[in-house]
């Protein structure tokens, strides 16, 4: 009876099947992240997240949008506040522009 040999390509696929997940887990741990949560996020598997119980209000000034700070709850809240303030400023500027346009028209 003839023996079945593994081809080089099948050995390569078997290696990748084992190596890729191990590399992903190692890279996640190296970056200080949860590999299971990252995997679920990549696949789009939704997990139920609990609402934060602590008060995360900060007395520090809101960072500008040009900073590259990590996405923490405080940073997201500060950016949302900045967006809200910018929308208000835009509305005020649009109103002033409309008044300037209609000021000379009678």
d(CA 19, CA 58): 43
Domain extents in the chain:
9-47, 55-106
Closest CA to 70 of 78, 81, 61: 78
Give residue-wise pLDDT tens across range 48-99: 555 555 555 555 555 555 556 667 888 888 889 999 999 999 999 999 988 8
Predicted confidence at residue 91, as pLDDT, reads 94
- What is d(CA 83, CA 85) in angstroms, rounded to the nearest whole number? 5
Check residue 99 and give its pLDDT: 87
């Amino acid at each position: 009876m003839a023996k079945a040999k593994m081809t080089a390509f099948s050995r390569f696929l078997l290696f990748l099947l084992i190596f890729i997940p191990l590399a992903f887990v190692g890279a996640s741990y190296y970056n200080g992240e949860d590999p299971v949560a990252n995997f679920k996020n990549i696949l789009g598997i939704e997990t139920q997240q609990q609402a934060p119980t602590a008060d995360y209000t900060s007395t520090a000034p809101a960072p500008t949008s040009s900073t590259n700070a990590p996405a923490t709850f405080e940073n997201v809240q500060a950016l949302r506040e900045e967006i809200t303030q910018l929308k208000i400023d835009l509305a005020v500027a649009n109103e002033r522009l409309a008044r300037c346009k209609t000021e000379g028209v009678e």
